Amino acid sequence: MASAPVLVTRRLPEEAIARLTASCEVTLWQEERPMPRARLLADSAGKAAIITLLSDRVDDELLEAAGAGLRIVANYAVGVDNVDLAACSRRAVMVANTPDVLTEATADMAWALVMAAARRVAEGDRVLRAGSAWVWGPEMMLGREVYGKTLGIVGFGRIGRAVARRAGGFGMRVLAAERSGGAAGAGGAAGTGGAAGTGGAGGEVEWLPLDDLLAASDFVSLHVNLSDETRHLLDRERLARMRPTAVLVNTSRGPVVDEAALAEALSAGRLFAAGLDVFEAEPHVHPDLLSHPRVVLTPHLGSATVDTRRAMGILAVDNVLEALAGRRPPALVNEDAFRRPKA
Ligand code: GLV
Ligand code: GLV
């Protein structure tokens, strides 16, 4: 049997590419930028599998361009908001993602932002680099205490639960948002809400309606998937429920927060600080967030460790190899596409 043609839309860690190349005919986009749309469409033609990044939109147009031989789209991410799942299922194209392997790294990143925003780490770094005069003072650059405070987790899936486990070491009270109206839950690929009251590591979790959680939390960390229900979940009204001393952390997807409303709340002193790893229109960052001293910014680095990125690469490749062998990919998202025979 001739080896199957596979498109990979960015260089993945070497081990993953080597594994794929061993049994497939790989077309690899080598540049460190997303494939231009026209090139993506052209290079998809005739492929049996495509490994996509979260910056690649997978929709009817792309599926059409790929043609009837396409079996699987393996997203190199846990989030699949860039993929039109219904369109893939309609054509019996399997969609897979990379859950679990990035849970702990992303939870660490959320905590890095909690700590950095609470204790003004990036701001302090900038003060020193600017060569500004400074002297230790009782009221110099005061931040917010983390130990013993209340952490509200919105989206209690795999990553939300991993963030909660870490809170045990900080003696925190942990709140999780109830999925009232389907709005606040993790849902779908990033993991569904876990069993109530299981924070792990001996931690107790209290479930509250989202609005009550926002009012009661010193720190709010977002871990929902992006969907129609979670777009602008933290809008102007919800941000106004947060405490003026609170810190908001987002490592999920940028559009979950209304960035303009967040920038306003920060400027007006209605929120202490924010730690943001994701943005509404990446790579663009709202200018008022860029200029606010107590906003800590990282360029979508949630899963960006050597170990995790390697594991994501291996899992994405395994998803492809299993699908091409006619078996169920280990991280299949749309079950119906596997069961339904190809037309
Ligand atoms: C990254 O944001 C991911 O969804 O894996
Ligand atoms: C501060 O540096 C302290 O020792 O309290």
Nearest bound ligand to the CA of residue 136: 2
pLDDT tens-place string over residues 270-302: 999 999 999 999 999 999 999 999 999 999 999
Residue pair 85/190 in contact by the 8 Å Cβ criterion: no
| Alpha helix ranges (H) inside 268-305 | 287-290
Q: Is 77 in the pocket of ligand 1 (CB under 6 A)?
A: yes
Mean per-residue pLDDT, 54-81: 98
- 327 has pLDDT over 90: yes
Per the CB < 8 A criterion, the answer to whether 92 and 113 are in contact is no
Range list of H helices, the chain: 14-21, 37-44, 60-66, 85-90, 103-118, 121-129, 158-167, 210-216, 236-241, 259-267, 287-290, 306-324, 335-339
As given in the structure block, the two tokens for residue 72 are 């699987």
Q: Which atom of ligand 1 is nearest to the CA of 278?
A: 2
Asked if pLDDT for residue 183 goes beyond 50, the answer is no
Nearest CA to ligand 1 atom 3: 77
pLDDT band at 339 (very low <50, low <70, confident <90, very high): confident
Among protein residues, the one whose CA lies closest to atom 1 of ligand 1: 77
Active site residue 282: yes
Is pTM, for the whole model, over 0.85?
Answer: yes
Active site residue 280: no
102 lines ligand 1 (CB under 6 A): yes
Question: What is d(CA 276, CA 249) in angstroms, rounded to the nearest whole number?
Answer: 6
More confident residue, 201 or 35: 35
Q: Ligand 1 pocket test: which of 78, 301, 305 has the largest number of ligand atoms within 8 Å of its C-beta?
A: 78
Tell me the one-letter amino acid at 318.
Answer: D
79 lines ligand 1 (CB under 6 A): yes
For residue range 70-108, list pLDDT tens digits in order.
Answer: 999 999 999 999 999 999 999 999 999 999 999 999 999
| Whole-number Å distance between alpha carbons of 12 and 191 | 24
pLDDT in tens, 201-235: 446 999 999 999 999 999 999 999 999 999 999 99
In this prediction, residue 118 carries a pLDDT of 98
Catalytic choice (166, 179, 300, 309): 300
Catalytic site includes residue 25: no
Q: Could you tell me which residues are beta bridge partners of residue 273?
A: 247
Distance between CA 14 and CA 138 in Å, rounded?
51
The pLDDT value recorded for residue 179 is 79
Lowest mean pLDDT among 45-59, 105-119, 186-200: 186-200
